[in-house]
């Protein structure tokens, strides 16, 4: 779960889509840090002092520590790094804390640079008013630059066992204050509220107003609240006693909570919102898969119509019959026929050789290869049109489809080249099916010796030289004009003989085998496979690219274990 939350956070950081992305990123950053905290053992007690600019956070930290440890300045946004002050902690006690902040650089407090935000400091502090703990002075969350160091702030808040919220009379009602309080509410961290810099005339009014606001926006009990009146000299000893007494009280009340269950509740609360853009992507990708299946199905229908069932284009079975002719030769005259073929086919073989077909391993274009290439181009053209129909700026869902349209255009030529190469491979592989059909026809003829002898007699006088030329040139298809003279007599003879029914059955079976081969080897293994990969090729800077299976696995984790959660 932690790994998924980290991945999701990084995707939000990269993509930053929509007005809700910043809010989701803040929530993910916070819960990621909380999960990292759960993963660690032997953490000391951490107290984080938080609040908006100019509320007096650093002064409250110094009051807790009873010494001037945190830097105080009248300038807004003076503290921009988490600054920890360890009380009665040994070096070994701080290892887990340093591990927790391993993605942020640790520097000495005196070396903190206001221009470099991804840093923190951790200093020892000699003071005896508090039990062993670490007190954190934190950056504000409402200044202009707050977004630059909000990650470290949220990480420090998630680490805290006790939060001290410091707000002034000018800032207690700011929306930024209540946004933070709402964000952290599900984790139920103990909170102490310090209303600072109040005037005696407005103290009661502001306290009452704060309580009302709390009841409106939070469902838990109103935390303990301290009101500090404004004094020119800052916070005084009386404030220190009250503050330390309440902090000690909260520390004594700390008890082990089911942090995993709290984390689970936090994630369940925001899960739908976080995954909304991912679900939209997955919906688009599911529609994309439907479009692919639909156009491939149409392509297969077109292949059957324009080639397998076409009365003038289909020639594969004629190829099988041509191979059957070679099986019918009478052994005594086979050499004479072979010599005649070589003489008669030399000009055509010379022509193929001069074009380089043999050297390149290519086959002469056949009617089937032409039809298949046209179908492949038509499939990609259809998909392009269907993608354009999906682009609907009015619904705000056009971004994914625009990118898919661009990716399809980029990969179109590559897909067609792959298809062309695989078509040649398919032709080469399918020769075996043609040979098996010829062999099955020959075995059937052997069951009828009279028909077989008649065909052999016909075979001696048939002009089959051009048939052998095509067989030697390679490929499945045979040009109609080349084979018609030899085939017409053979086909007519077989059709009218006792094996006529078997002839039609063999042709139908060969067509079915060819249909399945084209569907699997070309449409599925090439076009469908390449099209399915397009979504993953789209720029990762624009899309989450989290699969439905990944999401299902994580959601299963989120639902299991009613009293806990497998987080790691």
**Per-domain residue ranges for the chain?**
40-257, 310-537
| Six-digit token string for 427 | 């032709």
The DSSP symbol for 188 reads: -
Higher pLDDT, 396 or 138: 138
Among 52-56, 289-293, 394-398, the least confident range: 394-398
Give the DSSP letter of residue 498: T
| Mean pLDDT of all residues in 275-292 | 90
> Which of left, alpha, beta for 404 (phi over 0: left; psi -120 to 50: alpha)?
alpha
The encoded tokens of residue 66 equal: 């009873």
- The rounded distance, in Å, linking the Cα atoms of 325 and 467 is 9
Confidence of residue 268 (pLDDT cuts 50, 70, 90): very high
The reported pLDDT for the residue numbered 343 is: 45
How do residues 90-140 score in pLDDT, each as one tens digit?
888 899 999 999 999 999 988 888 888 889 999 988 766 788 999 999 998
Q: What is the mean pLDDT of residues 163-181?
A: 92
What residues are paired with 86 via a beta bridge?
124, 134
pLDDT of residue 378 exceeding 60, the answer is yes
SS3 string of 536-552? HHCCCCCCCCCCHHHHH
Q: What is the pLDDT of residue 200?
A: 83
Confidence grade of residue 143 (pLDDT, cut at 50, 70, 90): confident
The answer to whether the CB of 24 falls within 8 A of the CB of 9 is no
CB 129 within 8 A of CB 244: yes
Residues whose CB falls within 8 Å of the CB of residue 20, separated by 6 or more in sequence, listed in order = 273, 276
Q: What is the pLDDT of residues 465-505, one digit of tens each?
A: 444 444 444 444 444 434 445 555 566 666 667 777 888 89
* Contact (Cβ atoms closer than 8 angstroms) between residue 107 and residue 71: no
What is the layout of strands, in order, in the sheet containing 105-106?
Answer: 105-106, 119-125, 83-87, 133-137, 46-50, 162-168, 191-198, 224-229
Is the CB of residue 34 less than 8 Å from the CB of residue 158?
yes
CB contact at 8 A, 57 and 49: yes
Which one is predicted more confidently, 350 or 245? 245
pLDDT in tens, 4-27: 999 999 888 887 665 578 899 999
Angle between helix axes 399-446 and 500-517 (nearest 10 degrees) is 150
Strand partners, 120: 106
**CATH number 3.40.50.300 given to 40-257:** yes
Residue 559 in this model has a pLDDT that exceeds 90: no
Is the pLDDT at 192 greater than 70? The verdict is: yes
pLDDT digits (tens, 9 = 90+) for 153-171: 999 999 999 999 999 988 8
pLDDT for 344 equals: 40
**CA-CA-CA-CA dihedral for 89, 92, 95, 97, to nearest 10:** -10
């Amino acid at each position: 779960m932690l790994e998924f939350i980290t991945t999701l956070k990084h995707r939000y950081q990269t993509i930053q889509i929509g007005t809700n992305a910043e809010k989701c990123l803040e929530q993910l950053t916070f819960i990621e840090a909380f999960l990292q905290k759960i993963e660690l053992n032997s953490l000391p007690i951490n107290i984080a002092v938080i609040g908006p600019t100019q509320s007096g956070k650093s002064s409250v930290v110094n009051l807790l520590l009873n010494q001037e440890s945190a830097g105080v300045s009248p300038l807004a946004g003076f503290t921009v790094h988490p600054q920890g002050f360890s009380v009665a902690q040994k070096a070994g006690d701080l290892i887990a804390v340093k591990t927790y902040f391993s993605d942020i650089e640790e520097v000495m407090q005196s070396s903190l640079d206001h221009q470099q935000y991804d840093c923190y400091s951790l200093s020892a502090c000699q003071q005896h008013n508090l039990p062993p703990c670490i007190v954190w002075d934190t950056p504000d969350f409402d200044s202009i630059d707050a977004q630059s160091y909000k990650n470290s702030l949220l990480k420090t808040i998630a680490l805290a066992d006790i939060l001290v919220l410091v707000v002034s009379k000018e800032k207690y009602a700011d929306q930024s204050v209540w946004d933070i309080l709402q964000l952290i509410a599900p984790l139920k961290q103990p909170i102490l509220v310090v209303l600072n810099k109040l005037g005696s005339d407005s103290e009661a009014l502001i306290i009452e107003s704060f309580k009302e606001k709390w009841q409106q926006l939070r469902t838990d009990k109103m935390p303990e609240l301290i009101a500090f009146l404004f004094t020119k000299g800052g916070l005084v000893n009386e404030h220190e006693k009250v503050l330390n007494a309440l902090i000690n009280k909260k520390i004594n009340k700390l008890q082990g909570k089911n942090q995993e269950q709290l984390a689970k509740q936090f994630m369940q609360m925001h899960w739908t919102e976080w995954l909304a853009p991912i679900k939209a992507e997955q919906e688009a990708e599911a529609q994309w898969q439907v479009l692919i299946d639909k156009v491939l199905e149409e392509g297969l229908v077109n292949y059957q119509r324009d080639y397998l069932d076409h009365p003038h284009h289909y020639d594969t079975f004629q190829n099988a019959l041509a191979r059957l002719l070679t099986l019918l030769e009478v052994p005594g005259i086979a050499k004479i026929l072979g010599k005649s073929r070589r003489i008669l086919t030399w000009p055509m073989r010379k022509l193929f050789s001069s074009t380089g077909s043999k050297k390149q391993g290519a086959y002469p274009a056949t009617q089937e290869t032409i039809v298949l290439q046209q179908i492949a181009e038509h499939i990609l053209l259809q998909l392009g049109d269907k993608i354009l129909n999906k682009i609907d700026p009015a619904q705000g869902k056009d971004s994914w489809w625009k990118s898919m349209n661009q990716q399809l255009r980029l990969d179109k030529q590559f897909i067609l080249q792959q298809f062309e190469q695989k078509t040649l491979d398919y032709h080469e592989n399918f020769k075996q099916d043609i040979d098996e059909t010829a062999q099955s026809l020959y075995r059937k003829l052997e069951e009828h010796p009279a028909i077989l002898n008649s065909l052999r007699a016909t075979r001696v006088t048939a002009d089959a030289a051009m048939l052998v030329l095509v067989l030697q040139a390679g490929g499945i298809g045979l040009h109609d004009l080349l084979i018609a003279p030899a085939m017409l007599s053979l086909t007519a003879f077989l059709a009218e003989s006792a094996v006529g029914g078997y002839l039609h059955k063999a042709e139908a079976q060969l067509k079915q085998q060819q249909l399945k081969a084209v569907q699997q080897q070309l449409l599925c293994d090439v076009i469908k496979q390449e099209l399915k990969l397009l979504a993953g090729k789209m720029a990762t800077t624009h899309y989450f690219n989290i699969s439905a299976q990944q999401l299902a696995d994580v959601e299963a984790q989120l639902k299991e274990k009613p009293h806990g959660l497998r987080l790691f």
